[in-house]
Amino acid sequence: MDNFDAIPAGDAKAPPAAPPLAGSGADPAAGESEADPNSVRVRAILAAARYHGIDLDTNDLRVRRGEVATALALLGWVRNSGLWAKATRLSWGQLLKLKGPAPVVLLFADGGAGLLVGANPARNVVFLRDPRAPASADPVAVDELRLQQVWGGEAVLVRKPRGAPEADAPFTFGWIARAVLRERRILRDIGLASIALSVLTILPPLLVMTVIDRVLVHQSLSTLVLISTILGVGVLYETLLGYARRELTQVVAARIDSTLNLHIFNRLLALPIDYFERNPAGQTNHRLHQIWKLREFLTGKMLTTFLDLFTLLVLLPFLFYLSATLAWMVVAGSVLIALIILAFLPAIRVKVGRAIEAEVRKSVVMVETVHGIRTVKSLAMEPVQKEVWDERVADASRKRLEAGRLSNWPATLVTPIERFIERGVLLLGAYLVLEQASTVQVGGLIAFMLLGMRLAQPLVGLARLIEDMEEVRAAVGEAAMVLNHPTEISGVSRGLRPRFNGAITFENVTFAYPGAKAKALEKVSFSVPAGTMLGLVGKSGSGKSTITRLLQGINREYDGYVKIDGSELREINLPHLRRSFGVVLQDNFLFRGTVRENILAGRPGLTLEDAVRAARLAGAEEFIERMPQGYETFIEEGSPNLSGGQRQRLAIARALINDPRILILDEATSALDPESEALVNANLKRIGRGRTMAIVSHRLSSLVDCDAILVLDQGTVVDMGPHRELVERCAIYRQLWLQQNRHMQDPANRPASVGPVLAQGD
């Protein structure tokens, strides 16, 4: 106890110059501004995660420099790395009872943290470890009074996800069932309320029976009073229980809703880019929307039907007690209904499937039209689109109608049976009363009537449920097509996190897009040192963009090796890789928000100064400052208030904001007017200082300054060298150059500063 002083008293004020935490993989270039790896809390979490075999990346922690990491930020950090984490409040008693050797992170009130590594209830002490202390240091025993001086009860639990983590498990009915069952405590309460309600529903018919058979026959007023009292109390209970049941049902519905919502969006974000390239947005959207059918079903019909089944369990014995003959008839009728519905099921399944397919095709047209409305209008394609739409609408409604017609059949056939259960039983009962008065009495018959209807309802509902289940099953299948597509970040925590310099090597890289026959790249080999300004030229379709896509890890199923500083790309942690890249495409999406927000792009810990610096480097400062509100100017969707050149320079600023080691410009200036292009090109040399750049351009004039130019043709490397060499020795390059610069005489006279190496694969 005497060395209690070793317990961290928090160090939000820890000297920033302290050495970075060993093994945290912190990449100063990419992320020191994002989180201070020396913060005790961060260290505590790192240690807790490492206990479970996961090395967290401090770059992923979204905390501003100098700020204390909140429990919420820490949770997000841990969870994104695939671990289970929970923020909670613990009491001293709970600390003593914590089981297992896994450390628990205690967040101290002053911004510090401690690792709880054990407890000794007999001595009434817990054992804490200072996250900054070496692993070999002994934990310190602390008693309640001492701990409470620094600790208010906040704790973070970290552990391996139990079983298949729900985020990774395939989306199936089973997944949903598990999601629903996770609410089992509430569901149990709902069940209890339902059983109680069912028992109460027996009460009135029972009393009616008694009134008729006893009170009326024997004219006993006291019995009537007693019965009235019971009835009154029954109504009171029924009201309260009904309220509780509805309330709980709402809670379950809301919770399942948010579970589904979170899951959908997480999966969507984790899908690889090529999924979105191959599937129309409209289709994805429509499929994901199907999930709400499921949600409605789960918390609507299915729940009520199951609750009604409780009624059945309570009622059925009672009905058999009243009259076995009548009860059997009700059961037989219900079974018949179920059989009819089941018989139609396979055919309905097919028709419903077709109808849904048609709906998808229809909504694709809608979304495409909205997205491409400019093209539609400028090409005067409205009549064409309308025709397509008309046809799809007709198709969809025809198929819906077919499905509807078919399911009308079981509904029709079932009606007489339902009526028989409700009314036929009455006639039969009356007959039984007349013929064998000994077994059934009038009161009993009326009670049966009142209850029989309640019995038929759940039985028919159950059969109908199976019918609805078909549609929901189809909906789940639809949603699963999106949600079960393999995600790209299946192991966020996996992979190397090397510190990049930016040397790029392709070794015999062959690649074909999934589903494509022709190879987009064939035996591509080249190598450039860090800091190179690399130009990529070639005809359209020659594989320039494909090379940049492989570099970013968008497509990873290539043969051969792509290396950055000698590390194979597929072994590098994907988020880390992407963070090291800046990418500017021909058409860049600017988000709704201010200029500053667009440049910072939600990166934590960056300020207006960073945005200004990036804008200056990108040559965007000049026009931003001329805008009415400068950096606070609002950019609308589609950025109509910016010219193409301005948009491009903003995109470049955005790509430069975290000082990427490698910058890719894929036809970034191709759509610009010559003046804007010249502006951007004038900045390229400055932008490229201290980083590797890959510039794709079909205008060779913007590449003459490159240290090396890679000439591609039909997916193969033709040559590589600086401009002045290529003009002399590479026929394809010379031809392209002459095409674009006929008016010039002496095209090449620029030296190369870095000597690139070309290794032609064979």
Ligand X SMILES: Nc1ncnc2c1ncn2[C@@H]1O[C@H](COP(=O)(O)OP(=O)(O)O)[C@@H](O)[C@H]1O
* Stretch touching ligand X by CB under 6 A, among 42-50, 392-400, 483-491, 515-523: 515-523
- Closest CB to ligand X among 34 and 522? 522
- Measure the CA–CA gap between 756 and 759, rounded to whole angstroms: 10
Q: How far is the CB of 535 from Mg ion (least distance, A)?
A: 14
**Would you count residue 513 as binding ligand X (CB under 6 A)?**
yes
- Closest CB to ligand X among 176 and 736? 736
**Would you count residue 520 as binding ligand X (CB under 6 A)?**
yes
- Closest CB to ligand X among 63 and 536? 536
Are 322 and 441 in contact by the 8 Å Cβ rule? The answer is no
What is the CB-side half-sphere exposure of residue 67 using CA atoms within 13 A? 15
Give the largest CA-CA distance in the chain.
124
720: β partners? 710
Q: Among Mg ion, ligand X, none, what does residue 8 contact (CB within 5–8 Å per kind)?
A: none
The 230-269 contact track toward ligand X, x by CB under 6 A, reads: ----------------------------------------
Q: What string of H, E and C letters represents the secondary structure of 678-704?
A: HHHHHHHHHHCCCCEEEEECCCHHHHC
- Measure the CA–CA gap between 55 and 492, rounded to whole angstroms: 11
Q: How far is the CB of 90 from ligand X (least distance, A)?
A: 51
Size of the site for ligand X (CB under 6 A): 13
594: β partners? 634
Q: How far is the CB of 519 from ligand X (least distance, A)?
A: 8
- Residue 716 DSSP code: E
- Residue 746, token pair as written in the block: 């002496």
Q: How far is the CB of 559 from ligand X (least distance, A)?
A: 15
* Stretch touching ligand X by CB under 6 A, among 6-14, 167-175, 516-524, 612-620: 516-524
CA 208 to chain centre: 56
Subset of 658-697 contacting ligand X (CB under 6 A): none
Residues, the chain: 762
- Closest CB to ligand X among 281 and 518? 518
Q: Among Mg ion, ligand X, none, what does residue 277 contact (CB within 5–8 Å per kind)?
A: ligand X
Subset of 267-286 contacting Mg ion (CB under 5 A): none
- Closest CB to Mg ion among 545 and 646? 545
- Measure the CA–CA gap between 430 and 432, rounded to whole angstroms: 5
Other CB atoms within a 10 A radius of the CB of residue 446 amount to 18
Q: Among ligand X, Mg ion, none, what does residue 513 contact (CB within 5–8 Å per kind)?
A: ligand X
Q: Among ligand X, Mg ion, none, what does residue 516 contact (CB within 5–8 Å per kind)?
A: ligand X
The 525-564 contact track toward ligand X, x by CB under 6 A, reads: -------------x-xxxxxxx------------------
- Closest CB to ligand X among 465 and 547? 547
- Closest CB to Mg ion among 334 and 545? 545
Among 145, 380, 434, 516, binds ligand X (CB under 6 A): 516
Q: Which residues of 458-488 are buried (b: 16+ CB within 10 A; e: fewer)?
A: bbbbbbbbebbbbbbbbbbbbbbbbbebebb
Among 180, 174, 186, smallest CA distance to 260 is for 180
Q: Among ligand X, Mg ion, none, what does residue 424 contact (CB within 5–8 Å per kind)?
A: none
Q: How far is the CB of 538 from ligand X (least distance, A)?
A: 5
**Would you count residue 749 as binding ligand X (CB under 6 A)?**
no
The 263-302 contact track toward ligand X, x by CB under 6 A, reads: --------------x-------------------------
Rama region for 736: left / alpha / beta (φ>0; ψ in -120 to 50; rest): alpha
- Measure the CA–CA gap between 138 and 136, rounded to whole angstroms: 6
Q: Among ligand X, Mg ion, none, what does residue 546 contact (CB within 5–8 Å per kind)?
A: ligand X
Q: 635: burial class by Cβ within 10 Å (0-12, 13-18, 19+)?
A: buried
Q: How far is the CB of 280 from ligand X (least distance, A)?
A: 14
- Closest CB to ligand X among 266 and 586? 586
What is the phi/psi pair of residue 86, to 5°? -150, 135
- Closest CB to ligand X among 403 and 569? 569
The DSSP bridge pattern shows strands 151-159 and 504-511 to be unpaired
Q: How far is the CB of 372 from ligand X (least distance, A)?
A: 18
Q: How far is the CB of 547 from ligand X (least distance, A)?
A: 7
Q: What string of H, E and C letters represents the secondary structure of 391-447?
A: HHHHHHHHHHHHHHHHHHHHHHHHHHHHHHHHHHHHHHHHHHHHHCCCCCCHHHHHH
Q: In what order do the strands lie in the sheet with 716-721?
A: 581-584, 662-666, 692-696, 533-538, 708-713, 716-721
Among 56, 60, 65, smallest CA distance to 33 is for 65
- Closest CB to Mg ion among 545 and 681? 545
- Closest CB to ligand X among 460 and 726? 726
Q: Among ligand X, Mg ion, none, what does residue 541 contact (CB within 5–8 Å per kind)?
A: ligand X
- In the bound state, the residue with its beta carbon closest to Mg ion is 545
Among 88, 61, 85, smallest CA distance to 73 is for 61
* Stretch touching Mg ion by CB under 5 A, among 343-351, 481-489, 512-520, 543-551: 543-551
- Closest CB to ligand X among 39 and 669? 669
Output the CA torsion 71→76→78→81 (10° steps): -170
Among 545, 573, 580, 639, binds Mg ion (CB under 5 A): 545
Size of the site for Mg ion (CB under 5 A): 1
Q: How far is the CB of 544 from ligand X (least distance, A)?
A: 3
- Measure the CA–CA gap between 68 and 13, rounded to whole angstroms: 10
Residue ranges binding Mg ion (CB under 5 A): 545
Residue ranges binding ligand X (CB under 6 A): 277, 513, 516, 518, 520, 538, 540-546
